[in-house]
Amino acid sequence: MAIPYGAAPGAATDELARAAPEATAGLRRHWRRHYPFKVILGLGLLTVFVLMAIIGPMVAPYDPSAIGPDTLAPPSAAHLLGTTQTGQDVLSQLLIGSRSTLLVGFVAGAIATTLSVVVGISAGYYGGAGGELLGMLSNIFLVIPVLPLLVVLTAFLPGAGSMVVALVISAISWAWGARVLRAQTLSLRKQDFVQAARAAGERGWRIILFEILPNEIAIVASSFLFTVIAAILTDASLIFLGLGDTNQWSWGLILFWAQNNEAFTVGAWWWFIPPGLCIALTGTALALINFGIDELINPGLRAAGRDRKASRAMTTEQGLTPVRRAGSTGLTTGSGTGR
Amino acid sequence: MTAPPAAVGPPVLEISGLCVEYGPAHHAVRAVIDVDLVLHRGEVVGLAGESGSGKSTLAYAATRLLRPPGVITGGSVLFHPDAGQPELTIDLLDAGITELRRLRWRELAIVLQSAMNALNPVLSVEAQLTDTLAAHLPDSTRAGRRERAAELLRMVGISPHRLHSYPHELSGGMRQRVMIAMALALEPQLVIMDEPTTALDVVTQREILQQVIELRDRLGFSVLFITHDLSLLLEMADTIAIMYAGRLMETAAAGRLFAAPRHPYTAGLLASFPSLHGERHVMTGIPGSPPDLRNPPPGCPFHPRCGFAEPRCRQSMPPLGPPPDARAGDRLVACWLQDGREDRPPEVSRPEPPGTSTRPALRVITGPVQP
Amino acid sequence: MAFLGRRIGFYLVVAWAAITMNFIIPRLMPGNPVEILISRLSSQGELTQRSIHALTVAFGLNTKTGLLGQYGQYWVQLFHGNLGTSITYYPSSVAQVVMTALPWTVILLGTATVIAYIAGTVLGVLAAWRRGSALDTALPATTFLYAMPLFWLGLVAIEVFAVKLRWFPTSGGQTQGIPIGFTGQFLSSAVDHSILPALVIVVTVMASPLVGMRNMMVTTLGQDYVLVAQAKGLSQRRVMVMYAARNAILPTIANFALALGYVVSGAILVEYVFSYPGIGYILFQSVSNEDYPLMQAIFLIITLAVLVANLLADLVYVVLDPRSRQEA
């Protein structure tokens, strides 16, 4: 389980917060000119999984819970991903399970993001003692380790459905986004265009909705993606441990049964590799999209430009401007002593 | 201080035909095109121009400090450490990193804007003053370096107990003085100052500039002063170079430039700000805005905004050369109007001020005007 | 020092909140731990009314004293280091159980996290220093590692390295039968058993500081003071470390403390997967056995430990960033 360790890779939070307004404008401009490979890959992968979630139950060849005669069979024509110890078809489990897994992730992400937007922006905009208190509240939730808390909570709520788990996850994960949004709103509030709107008598909620929020869309999007990854991983981890919703098929549940039936020791790789891989790829897809947003915000972060060859030729030493003379193929960084 | 200005000596930095581009070869932006500039020992050369004119790019490229994606694509930058020993001259564009590091700060130093970002926020003032001493003077002792750091602070009028302060504890003016002290730590021959006073209030600005001139008079270093504020340069520079769209448009001694500009752009700049002394004149700006360097206009880059543009200006770039009526000393201008014709517009044909020296006639900040 | 004062105050508040939450949750949830214990013990023989009452008091559920009274008692017990009695390991006290398991977690988790953070930070600095290099372009590949379920990686690692290749043991903290102590035999066995779980933690934890540091370095390298440092002719190393990295690392340290909460969560899963006898593993046992006192105590300890780590990180931050020493 890899609930994001602090910041998501690529989300240096303050920097993100500072650059957000230009980023949103940049987003529109940029998409028309560049289509970074990363983002396309991410979106592509995500589409595959979303499709799986939507049509999965309709195309699954078998009932995932139906036991059958072929036990622990490696992949074959009849069972594309092999079978479990009780003859259940792994592929069907994977297809059906995708719905619950992704749903929990996105629902938790949506609720958490909404909460973080509401709490973060109001705390930042209205400020005062209430703002400080909300800030403290989000800090508290940030510091408390998530999984132990969830383990304890779900242990006390046996038989909770997946939506309840989603709610619990979102109740804890809103804090990070709220903190970043609060900081950003605080700094935006001092800026001229907000002051102008206030002086013109615009009402608070209108300013928030039309002036402040549009400038923070990039952060909100990033925060949403980040929370979805975390929620999917947390949910899978909980189910793997035998907590949370063990009545519905999900990728975590496949792994739970795999673990309980010693799939690992008997080397039934077709049982435990696909679900974990799917989780990892879904998370990667979301992270790639997130990376794409980050690089939009700070173009300096792009690892290599479109001109790969040219950029590689330009890997330069720091503090030494390269000299490229007409007629030479590469760059010299100088080695002689001149005349 | 009313000591006479230091005499201008032999050349210390010779930039010839420097070309700088940004970006990979096939869609590069030409930021500096074919610039020639000479700095002499003890001279204050002002480099003026609007944003995007290439003035900072020129200075950083010449010292190989320009950041990626900047690339130097032509020219040479000769540094003469000692006029009496021409064999020590080195082309900075050919030098390797070790050599450059040896020269940096000992001979060439820079001073930036005093914003928080110019000084390392996590190191104390003493650390930042002494680390360069330690790097270039390996035989120095800790105590010796500390003593030198204290001396440097005193030189710019800051109490030595500030050695233990951090940059965020200093005011803007103090930070700027620290930067100047830091630049002079190894007594370099050339100090490049990039908009050093832009972020300061007018009073502090004056104090800092006065300090710089005093130190120049005392220690004899040259200054390349980059700014968009021409009025500052008119008062403290010996020579002024005007840049536009990556090219050098005009250079002349400050007094001659002020009294008798030869380029329409210079004339436009001079008409854009009021002067505290002298006659009142109608202020006019320069209509339009600087060109997009990715798609510069053909011929002379200024022609779209020039009131005197002719068909020739659209076709080819005029060469940089002395105007026909230049009396003495170097002054250069790149304009087709200066091709020797009789009927030049009055704005670019005012008579040159009297006196054969290339020293400016105006020296407001160093005291009463010297006869 | 106002900054530190505020942080300490904050941690005290969180600690109070965690302790109170710990007190409230079981009383809100369905299920009575005493009944569970009773039913378990009853299978071994009848319990008298008095025993039942004694147990109720021991578990702090004596309703006679009222909620507030219980709360007060709870605090008193805490200060005496009395975290209750464990149901699973009855009659051992929770404190004893925790103390046996804690060192394993601290050693495994502590070392692995520190290694991951140092490695991630150093690699991030190098990736930024040489833009366009192989390391830099490989960065997005780390997102895959980051998104991977930690427990899955652990299981795959066991499958590959322990079962198939037999390089490492498959589970446990040490080979059975060796007594615990500072003997070579024990130590080598312990190290042997901790390498795989530690590697799994390092691989997944490393991604965050790596990318974070690289991005911060890119921003920092664009700052004026780095330009000045290069203009000063300082050595490459000094510019990279004292000017660039020193500044770029500050957000990573601030985040490290936050990250620790998550790292602890990850370590728990790793312990489960590897049957490594640390706090996480015990937490598991307590969940399966409905051992509420143990469960809550572990949660509390974990939270308090994270707070302490946060405080230490704050101290480091104050040392590294002079601006934080004078908060307006």
Output the domain CATH number for residue C125: 1.10.3720.10
Q: Which of A307, A311, A323 sits opposite B72 (nearest CB)?
A: A323
Residue C87 covered by a domain: no
Residue C111 covered by a domain: yes
How far is A249 from A245, CA to CA, in rounded Å? 9
Partners of residue C149 in chain A, C-beta under 8 Å = 1-2, 233, 236-237, 240, 255, 276, 279-280
How far is B88 from C84, CA to CA, in rounded Å? 83
A316 touches chain B (CB under 8 A): yes
Residue A332 covered by a domain: no
Q: With bands split at pLDDT 50, 70 and 90, how would you rate the model's confidence at B47?
A: very high
Q: Out of C79, C104, C134, pick the residue that ends a domain.
A: C79
Domain span holding position C68: 2-79
Q: Looking at the structure, tell me whether residues C264 and C132 fall in a common domain.
A: yes
Q: Looking at the structure, tell me whether residues C157 and C19 fall in a common domain.
A: no
- The answer to whether the CB atoms of B24 and A314 lie below 8 A apart is yes
Domain span holding position A147: 36-300
Q: Looking at the structure, tell me whether residues C75 and C141 fall in a common domain.
A: no
**Burial, A57: exposed, middle or buried (Cβ in 10 Å; 0-12, 13-18, 19+)?**
middle
**Burial, A328: exposed, middle or buried (Cβ in 10 Å; 0-12, 13-18, 19+)?**
exposed
- The answer to whether the CB atoms of A321 and B74 lie below 8 A apart is no
**Burial, A90: exposed, middle or buried (Cβ in 10 Å; 0-12, 13-18, 19+)?**
buried
Please give the average per-residue pLDDT across B28-48, as a whole number: 90
Q: Out of C79, C110, C127, pick the residue that ends a domain.
A: C79
Residue partners of C287: CB distance under 8 A and separation at least 6: A151, A155, A241, A243, C295
Look at the alpha carbons of A259, A260, A266, A271 in this order and tell me if their dihedral is positive or negative.
negative
Q: Looking at the structure, tell me whether residues C55 and C150 fall in a common domain.
A: no
Q: Looking at the structure, tell me whether residues C44 and C98 fall in a common domain.
A: no
Cβ distance C240 to C126 under 8 Å? no
Q: Looking at the structure, tell me whether residues C73 and C119 fall in a common domain.
A: no
Does residue B95 surpass a pLDDT of 80?
A: yes
3-state SS record for chain A: CCCCCCCCCCCCHHHHHHHHHHHHHHHHHHHHHCCCHHHHHHHHHHHHHHHHHHHHHHHCCCCCCCCCCCCCCCCCCCCCCCECCCCCEHHHHHHHHHHHHHHHHHHHHHHHHHHHHHHHHHHHHHCHHHHHHHHHHHHHHHHCCHHHHHHHHHHHCCCCCHHHHHHHHHHHHHHHHHHHHHHHHHHHHCCHHHHHHHHCCCCHHHHHHHHHHHHCHHHHHHHHHHHHHHHHHHHHHHHHCCCCCCCCCCHHHHHHHHHHCCCCCCCCHHHHHHHHHHHHHHHHHHHHHHHHHHHHHCHHHCCCCCCHHHHHHCCCCCCCCCECCCCCCCCECCCECCC
A325 touches chain B (CB under 8 A): yes
Does residue C31 surpass a pLDDT of 70?
A: no
What are the beta bridge partners of residue B222?
A: B190
How many structural domains compose chain C?
A: 2
Q: Looking at the structure, tell me whether residues C263 and C239 fall in a common domain.
A: yes
Cβ distance C197 to C153 under 8 Å? no
Does residue B241 surpass a pLDDT of 90?
A: yes
Q: Alpha carbon C173 to chain centroid distance?
A: 17
- The answer to whether the CB atoms of A324 and B67 lie below 8 A apart is no
- The answer to whether the CB atoms of A321 and B24 lie below 8 A apart is no
Residue A16 covered by a domain: no
Q: Given this model, what pLDDT does residue A32 score?
A: 44
pLDDT in tens, B309-359: 888 888 989 888 888 877 656 788 988 888 877 778 888 888 877 764 444
Q: Which H or E run contains C271?
A: helix C246-274
Q: Given this model, what pLDDT does residue C158 score?
A: 80
Match 């950083």 to its residue by tokens. Answer: B60
Above pLDDT 70, what percent of chain B?
89
Q: Looking at the structure, tell me whether residues C102 and C15 fall in a common domain.
A: no
Residue A328 covered by a domain: no
Q: Choosing among B19, B64, B92, which should be mutated to test the A contact, i.e. which has the most A CBs within 10 A?
A: B64
B19 touches chain A (CB under 8 A): no
Q: Looking at the structure, tell me whether residues C144 and C49 fall in a common domain.
A: no
Residue C91 preceded by cis peptide, ω within 30: yes
Q: Given this model, what pLDDT does residue B193 score?
A: 92
Q: Out of C79, C103, C119, pick the residue that ends a domain.
A: C79
What are the beta bridge partners of residue B224?
A: B45, B192
Residue C89 covered by a domain: no
- The answer to whether the CB atoms of C269 and A147 lie below 8 A apart is yes
pLDDT in tens, C48-107: 676 666 666 666 555 556 677 777 877 877 777 766 666 666 667 778 888 888 888 888
Residue A325 covered by a domain: no
- The answer to whether the CB atoms of A304 and C152 lie below 8 A apart is no
Partners of residue C243 in chain B, C-beta under 8 Å = 120, 123
Q: Given this model, what pLDDT does residue C88 score?
A: 66
Q: Given this model, what pLDDT does residue C19 score?
A: 81
How many structural domains compose chain A?
A: 1
Partners of residue C231 in chain A, C-beta under 8 Å = 319
Partners of residue B199 in chain C, C-beta under 8 Å = none
Does residue C294 surpass a pLDDT of 50?
A: yes
- The answer to whether the CB atoms of C149 and A237 lie below 8 A apart is yes
Sites in chain A below the pLDDT cut of 50 = 1-20, 32-33, 304-315, 329-330, 334-339
Residue C262 covered by a domain: yes
CA distances from B269 to B79, B229, B350, B364 (A): 31, 10, 15, 20
How far is A40 from A34, CA to CA, in rounded Å? 11
Please tell me which residue of chain C has the smallest CA distance to A138: C14
C-alpha closest to that of C115 among C50, C3, C204: C204
Between positions 279 and 308 of A, the ones with CB within 8 A of B are 305, 307
Does residue B173 surpass a pLDDT of 50?
A: yes
Between positions 261 and 280 of B, the ones with CB within 8 A of A are none
What tokens were used for C106?
Answer: 């601290």
What CATH number does residue A133 fall under? 1.10.3720.10
The answer to whether the predicted template modeling score (pTM) of the entire model surpasses 0.80 is no
How far is A305 from A315, CA to CA, in rounded Å? 12
Partners of residue C218 in chain A, C-beta under 8 Å = 298, 300-301
Cβ distance A50 to A328 under 8 Å? no
Residue A320 covered by a domain: no
Residue A55 covered by a domain: yes
Look at the alpha carbons of A44, A50, A54, A56 in this order and tell me if their dihedral is positive or negative.
positive
Please give the average per-residue pLDDT across C246-259, as a whole number: 80
Match 């914003």 to its residue by tokens. Answer: B115
Residue C220 covered by a domain: yes
Residue C86 covered by a domain: no
Does residue C37 surpass a pLDDT of 70?
A: no
Residue C88 covered by a domain: no
Residue A147 covered by a domain: yes
- The answer to whether the CB atoms of B97 and A339 lie below 8 A apart is no
A135 vs B2 pLDDT, higher one: A135
Q: Given this model, what pLDDT does residue B296 score?
A: 85
- The answer to whether the CB atoms of B94 and A305 lie below 8 A apart is no
C147 vs C119 pLDDT, higher one: C119
Please tell me which residue of chain A has the smallest CA distance to C274: A259
C-alpha closest to that of A46 among A287, A286, A293: A286
Q: Looking at the structure, tell me whether residues C128 and C9 fall in a common domain.
A: no
B61 touches chain A (CB under 8 A): yes
Q: Which H or E run contains B12?
A: strand B11-22
Above pLDDT 70, what percent of chain A?
77
Residue A261 covered by a domain: yes
A192 touches chain B (CB under 8 A): no
Alpha-carbon gap: A192 to the closest alpha carbon of chain B (Å): 20
Q: Looking at the structure, tell me whether residues C156 and C198 fall in a common domain.
A: yes
Q: Report the side by side order of strands in the sheet with B11-22.
A: B29-40, B11-22, B70-79, B90-91
Q: Given this model, what pLDDT does residue A28 score?
A: 53
CA distances from A16 to A23, A215, B127 (A): 9, 12, 31
Residue partners of C316: CB distance under 8 A and separation at least 6: C253
How far is A87 from A65, CA to CA, in rounded Å? 9
